[in-house]
Structure 1
Amino acid sequence: MAARSCRFLYSSSSSPIATTSPLLSPTPSAATRRKLLLSSTCGTIASAAAASAMEGQGAPAAPGGKGSAIVVVDSHLHVWASPQQAAERYPYFPGQEPPIRGDVDLLLQCMDEAGVDGALIVQPINHMFDHSLVTSVLKKYPSKFIGCCLANPADDGSGIKQLEHLIVQEKYRAVRFNPNLWPSGQKMTNEVGRSLFAKAGELGAPVGIMVMKGISTYIQEIEELCTDYPKTTVIFDHMAFCKPPMNIEEEKAFTSFLELSRFPQIYVKYSALFRISREAYPYEDTSQLLSRVISSYGANRIMWGSDFPFVVPECGYKGAKEAISHVAGKIPVSSSDLEWILGKTVTQLFQGAWVSA
């Protein structure tokens, strides 16, 4: 019954605007989508994928869940309004209507099924700078979720006051930098960007950076910001979008990402494996990425994230969690390091969160 309840549905808007927008992460391949959309539940998807990919391979059991001493926390996911909520109170940003379900009821069902104790909710582009929907979720489930707001880099500097309000008054714990939202031709190191970055450090809020165009595009900006503002913590979303290198340029980019570990304030999300893998579930090729990132950053600076709800039509939410233990078993990763990745890193970074987990 749990798998049946964890269902993904298309909204009344049939146009996949949100997933094709350059502000969002890329959609899965056409072949992958056709195959996965045949399944109707995240539990069904996860079970089918896991059965075919892990059969006979002796994948280690996934930690966490009821009765487990290990706290499992999802460091990267999104929630947005249902179509009814959007019509009544929490409208979508024009042109960013989501094509799949991403409401908190679905999320809670998936987390319960997978044995995930808590999560960091990242403000979705679907509501842009209107944080009212996410704020309502944080207030309703204060021991389950903390929030990462979205930085507004508008030229007039209004985003700086909004950032302070969201962190001080609404109790958000982190802020996301999306370079695609900066005014055309401007960088994250412009006056507003530097002010936002400095303010985040002043308020103790880590800055999550989504380098969708690749780490090489933003390496100089990130080095400059980390050098000038060493008190501001940085978290790279989705392993800085580095895939297993296949040529000299990709290896160079990944190496530059690893070298950023010299900044002690930088953390890494081993998240959205379907975005960084070149293979089907359970994304075994990411083991080489994970091994090298652990060697450079240490497991205590790495955290798992699902990228719900985008992960649901890929491998299912439960499948996303189970893939971590499977990939870790290929390296192998010690049980201690796996504990850091699955929850200890993020809970230590955000002290006082998930106190009831």
Structure 2
Amino acid sequence: MAVRLTSVLLPVSVQFRRPQRFVFISRNTKFTASAATMATGAPQSRTKIIDSHLHVWASPQEAADKYPYFPGQEPTLPGDVALLLQSMEEAGVDGALIVQPINHKFDHSLVASVLKKYPSKFVGCCLANPAEDGSGVKQLENLILKDNFCAVRFNPYLWPSGQQMTNEVGKAMFSKAGELGVPVGFMCMKGLSVHISEIEELCTEFPSTLVLLDHLAFCKPPINDEENQAFTALLKLSRFPQVYVKFSALFRVSRMPFPYEDLSNTLSQVVSSFGANRVMWGSDFPFVVAECGYKGAKEAVSLIANQIPLSSSELEWIMGRTISQLFQNQWLP
């Protein structure tokens, strides 16, 4: 079954903090430019493979010397940058979005050092601090403007007990993200149905803030009414043009072992609803290493896509073009 690419007109009012690199333009404009390039016979550069979701944390020695783990969040597996770089090279992955790990919680110094050392390879996603005193808004601004983070993650389970991401602090941070032109990623580990009303409210009230749904919003291939409702809710979020979906951490959302073939229908429906230009692959390194290996995480997408099938162009969007254009070609040489 062929799936379609949807054209998305993003809000023109949004100005990114790096106008020379981050500028909102319509997806129509991008597609037209691409078609014009092909028509003139101009040389086509290879679409880079970009991982939209992975983590990196200090090695034990780095933690002892300079970048301590948050107490109680010591990692149980290696996730240092040397291992990441080796894994990416072996798999043929060109760049990645590093999501701040809970192992360092709100201390972003380790990830910031990696971003500074490898500016053409990595983009950073910081972790929102929903402290009740509202200090997280300024922290977010500093991480974006001073430490070169380009996205922010909302972990709803870090909000004070009994409060939601739509509280005053949450809305202030979500609004600030839109003002700064950075996407907000949502981690719905306990299920999309728990958080769908919050996400819808934030998207409705702040249409200029881009949204990334981590790991298919934790929607497994549905096998009962409750899961069907959650997956339907995910597809309906496509009505918000600012919402993107990460086809990431496949081992977390599949009910089958590698290559996670039960996700073929899921991917087909997600692409049909959002368009491949709003879907992006992510590995969830280093957790994926013990599951199918980093290279396997990349290969699984092609194997799943072949069952639908997706066109080569659609697969290119998912494997790197979507996130590359979202961040306005951050990974160009």
Q: Shared topology, TM-score over 0.5?
A: yes
The corresponding residue for 1:297 is: 274
Q: Distance in 1 between matches of 2:260 and 2:68?
A: 35
Question: Hey, what's the Cα distance between the residues in 1 that align with 2:46 and 2:136?
Answer: 41
Partner of 1:343: 320
Distance 1:156 1:94 in 2: 22
Identity %: 72
| Residue 272 in structure 1 maps to residue 255 in structure 2 | no
Aligned partner (choices 161, 179, 185) of residue 162 of structure 2:
185
SS in 2 for 1:295: helix
Tell me the residue number matched to 1:221.
Answer: 198
Note if 1:146 corresponds to 2:123: yes
Q: Which residue of 2 aligns with 1:209?
A: 186
1:233 to 204, 210, 216: 210
The Cα of 1:348 is off from its aligned counterpart by 0.3
Q: Could you tell me which residue of structure 2 aligns to residue 354 of structure 1?
A: 331
For residues 322-348 of structure 1, give each alpha carbon's deviation from its aligned partner in whole angstroms, at most 9, with x where no partner exists. Answer: 001000001101101000000000000
The Cα of 1:227 is off from its aligned counterpart by: 0.4
- Superposed displacement of residue 83, structure 1: 0.2
Find the counterpart in structure 2 of residue 83 from structure 1.
60
Q: Matches of 2:76 and 2:139 in 1, distance apart?
A: 28
Amino acid at match of 1:198: S
2:231 to 235, 254, 270: 254
One-letter amino acid of the structure 2 residue matched with residue 102 of structure 1? G
Alpha-carbon offset, residue 161 of structure 1:
0.5
Give the Cα separation in 1 of the matches to 2:265 and 2:253.
12
State the distance in 2 between where 1:261 and 1:217 align.
18
- Aligned match of 2:305: 328
How far residue 204 of structure 1 moved from its aligned partner, in angstroms, is 0.3
In the TM superposition, 1:151-190 aligns within 5 A as 151-190=128-167
1:281 corresponds to which residue?
258
SS in 2 for 1:286: helix
Matches within 5 A, 1:4-19: none
Structure 2 CA distance, aligned partners of 1:308 and 1:342? 16
1:249 Cα deviation after fit: 1.2
Distance in 2, matches of 1:218 and 1:313, equals 29
The alpha-carbon deviation at position 274 of structure 1 amounts to 0.1
**SS of 2:157 mapped into structure 1:** helix
2:294 to 317, 326, 332: 317
- The whole-number CA distance in structure 1 between the counterparts of 2:324 and 2:255 is 30
- The aligned amino acid for 1:235 is L
CA apart distance, 1:355: 1.7
Q: Which residue of 1 aligns with 2:174?
A: 197
Shift of 1:164: 0.1
Q: C-alpha separation between the residues in 2 aligned to 1:353 and 1:226?
A: 25
Counterpart Cα distance in 1 of 2:84 and 2:72: 23
| Uncovered stretches (5+) of structure 2, i.e. residues with no partner | 1-44
Amino acid at match of 1:137: V
Q: What SS does structure 2 have at the residue aligned with 1:119?
A: strand
In structure 1, distance between residues paired with 2:273 and 2:151: 24
SS at match of 1:268: strand
2:112 is aligned with 1:122: no
CA distance in 1, matches of 2:215, 2:93: 19
> 2: distance between equivalents of 1:260 and 1:116?
29
Letter in 2 for 1:178: N
Q: Give the number of aligned pairs.
A: 289
Normalised to the residue count of structure 1, the TM-score between the two structures is 0.80
Which blocks of at least 5 consecutive residues in structure 1 are unaligned? Answer: 1-67
Partner of 2:111: 134
**What is the CA deviation profile of residues 122-179 of structure 1, one whole-angstrom value per residue up to 9, with x for unaligned ones?**
0000000000000000000000001000000000111110000000111110000000
Distance of 2:225 and 2:134 partners within structure 1: 40
Give, in whole Å, the separation in 2 of the partners of 1:98 and 1:309.
10
CA shift for structure 1 position 352: 3.8
Which of 86, 93, 102 aligns to 2:79? It is 102
Q: CA RMSD in A?
A: 0.7
1:70 offset after TM fit, Å?
2.6
Give me the whole-angstrom Cα distance separating, in 1, the residues matched to 2:332 and 2:146.
Answer: 20
Q: What is the aligned partner in structure 2 of residue 31 from structure 1?
A: none
Q: TM-score, normalised by structure 2?
A: 0.86
